[in-house]
Chains A and B, each alone.
Chain A
């Protein structure tokens, strides 16, 4: 996601970590990155996102080890922060359903360009929330949180993975504010055509090879879903079971990860796409064999890139260490709008890596940060 940032820096990376939020900002030409922070030292920051509709607005999803989840917002580019007056919280249950409580605010997505001040938040357990005032007050999206199939589709905690049950990858179609997608890690991909009032499954073609029937109606584990900004009918997905691409009018996921080298596989968390070319995407493969180490396959970290919509993949590891055992989480990979495109990722070892030539060469921008949960790019408007 590429957004704008206030101040005299041309490009900012907002980094959410286990112990706070950090900012890496660069001047013209993506030179001279400087590290600032942490903001919220000691808080668990899952996501920091700048508002593409207003240079100065930022939201941060936070909790601490002791305290409940909340959202902080800044109206001055991150200099000062205010806590949400009404953070995301489930409404009282209906129809005898057990009461839920938000454990983590996990994901933040700005609303449509035509809807100033609208934001969406995804939580664990799988809640969807909407703010219409720049993140100050959050209301449940009842069409999802109270959906009659919510228990069935989410597993109601029974299918929670080790990191919880996050609702993530909230996507707002740039052509239509009413058209939304999101994914859950124990259900699949969901789509709404009416701003969240009704939801349907979008799981055709996906695989869940950890289930007796690998093609159930629901029960999939998408790790990250993205919508191409310039070709919004193109969706990419990094799943627990492979890399997929969908041309939405066809409505079927195609497992393009089958074209990855067999010894690397197509398991991972993150995926990003080229801002202009819908055939180009980058992933960071993880070891999904035996007990799922979720470290680079063969302990050799590399980004893989496709230039032909997943027909083939190139290994891109120049500058990366020969051996590493870190993980790159689903929110911890990002790209900018530059030409050539800049690609970034953060690791659980607290390193931020960048490539300013679309993945050909990599350099470390920062090290020794806490475990990195998210990396988001904010670019100044020309």
Chain B
């Protein structure tokens, strides 16, 4: 399925803002993204397996924090950033 990539991670995807990835959960999608774009996952998920504070993942428009959430081919998955301040 296609995954939306935020600008802050586009340096890992060669500038692509939508990339194809495979997996039956968000965790599996991120693992596949990291295989394709090494280093991407650790910038958004820490060593405890938690999404970093200013990173959001939306599945069909709904924010998720649990990376074990199941996904299907037709789902829309977006990775977004959320930060304000100087």
A residues touching B (Cβ–Cβ < 8 Å)? Answer: 64-68, 70, 83-85, 87, 89-91, 99-102
Contact = CB atoms under 8 A, between A and B. Distances in A.
B85 A70 contact: no
Interface in B10-47: 38-39, 42-47
Given A87-B42, A89-B42, A66 B47 contact: no
Contacts of B9: 67
A200 B72 CA distance: 53
Contacts of A65: 54, 83, 85
10 contacts: A65-B54, A66-B8, A66-B54, A67-B54, A68-B44, A68-B46, A70-B42, A83-B39, A99-B48, A102-B46
A68 B52 contact: yes
Nearest to A89: B47
B2 interface: no
A70 B48 contact: no
Given A85-B38, A101-B50, A68 B43 contact: yes
Given A65-B54, A101-B48, A101-B50, A70 B83 contact: no
B84 to A, nearest CB: 9
Contacts of B85: 65
For chain B, give the interface size range: 20 to 34
Given A66-B82, A68-B44, A85-B38, 18 more contacts: A65-B54, A65-B85, A66-B8, A66-B55, A67-B8, A67-B54, A68-B45, A68-B46, A68-B52, A70-B39, A70-B42, A83-B39, A89-B47, A91-B47, A99-B47, A99-B48, A101-B46, A101-B48
A91 to B, nearest CB: 8
Interface of B: 6, 8-9, 38-39, 42-48, 50, 52, 54-55, 81-83, 85
Contacts, number: 48
A64 B55 CA distance: 11
Chain A to chain B: the 6 pairs with minimum beta-carbon distance, closest first: A101-B46, A89-B47, A67-B43, A66-B81, A99-B48, A66-B54
A100 B83 CA distance: 22
A67 B48 contact: no
Nearest to B46: A101
Contacts of B43: 67-68, 70
Contacts of A100: 48
B52 A66 contact: yes
Given A83-B39, A85-B38, A85-B39, A67 B46 contact: no
Scoring B48, B50, B85 by chain A CB atoms within 10 A of each residue's CB, the highest score goes to B48
A92 to B, nearest CB: 8
Contacts of A64: 8
A102 B43 CA distance: 11
A250 B52 CA distance: 46
A80 to B, nearest CB: 14
Nearest to A42: B8
Contacts of A99: 47-48
A239 B84 CA distance: 33
Contacts of B46: 68, 89, 101-102
A90 B46 CA distance: 9
Nearest to B47: A89
A102 B42 CA distance: 11
Nearest to B43: A67
A272 to B, nearest CB: 30
B61 to A, nearest CB: 20
B13 to A, nearest CB: 14
A24 B44 CA distance: 32
B47 A90 contact: yes
A311 B83 CA distance: 49
A85 B45 CA distance: 15
A102 B52 CA distance: 11
